[in-house]
Amino acid sequence: MVNMLAVPAGLYRGTVTGPESGDCQCRIDVRRLTEHAMSVDYEAVGVSGLQHVEHTIVTASALHVVASEFPTVVTFRRTGPGRYVADVEGPAMEIHPGWDGASLTWAWHWAPPGEEAREQSRAVARQVR
């Protein structure tokens, strides 16, 4: 089972790949807020500059996400190990975070309305401090 609250606080750097994101670099800053919550600040930068900015509050049951593409906070409810589904009308959106003890992954899945969400972007990062 993936327990995102077990991810150590610190700065992570890595790469992002995917059909939507293309290849770019990422910076992920993980901070412990309380025993039961943490924050994840995620940035993806490609050859054309900043592609994505996100601030997420992680709890055991949900991700509360503010992102450059959203007009408001979007809550993603935990539906299974490493799978959070957006609690909004419209296109299917999911975030699949992961932690294997060494690498942090943050994968965005989405699709047009009526279609099943599929992976569009995956960040893989390792702690640098």
Ramachandran quadrant class, 36 (left: phi over 0; alpha: psi -120 to 50; beta: rest): alpha
What mean pLDDT do residues 27-36 have?
96
| Domain count along the chain | 1
> Which pair of structure tokens corresponds to residue 78?
């935990």
- 1 domain-assigned: no
Q: Which of 1-15, 30-44, 100-114 has the lowest mean pLDDT?
A: 1-15
**pTM for the model:** 0.92
Average pLDDT, the chain: 93
How high is the pLDDT of residue 1? Answer: 43
CATH number of the domain that residue 102 is part of:
2.40.128.20
What is residue 37's three-state secondary structure?
strand
Q: What is the mean pLDDT of residues 22-32?
A: 95
Per the rule left: phi > 0, alpha: psi between -120 and 50, beta: everything else, 123 is: beta
User: Is residue 106, in this structure, part of any structural domain at all?
Assistant: yes
Within a domain: 4: no
Residue 105 is part of which domain span?
A: 9-127
3-state SS assignment for residue 6:
helix
User: What whole-number percentage of the chain has pLDDT above 90?
Assistant: 78
CA nearest to 26, candidates 127, 128, 125: 125
CB atoms within 10 A of CB 97: 20
Q: Are 124 and 23 in contact (CB under 8 A)?
A: no
Q: Residue 2: its pLDDT value, please?
A: 61
Decide: 19 and 110 in contact? Cβ < 8 Å: no
Residue 96: inside a domain: yes
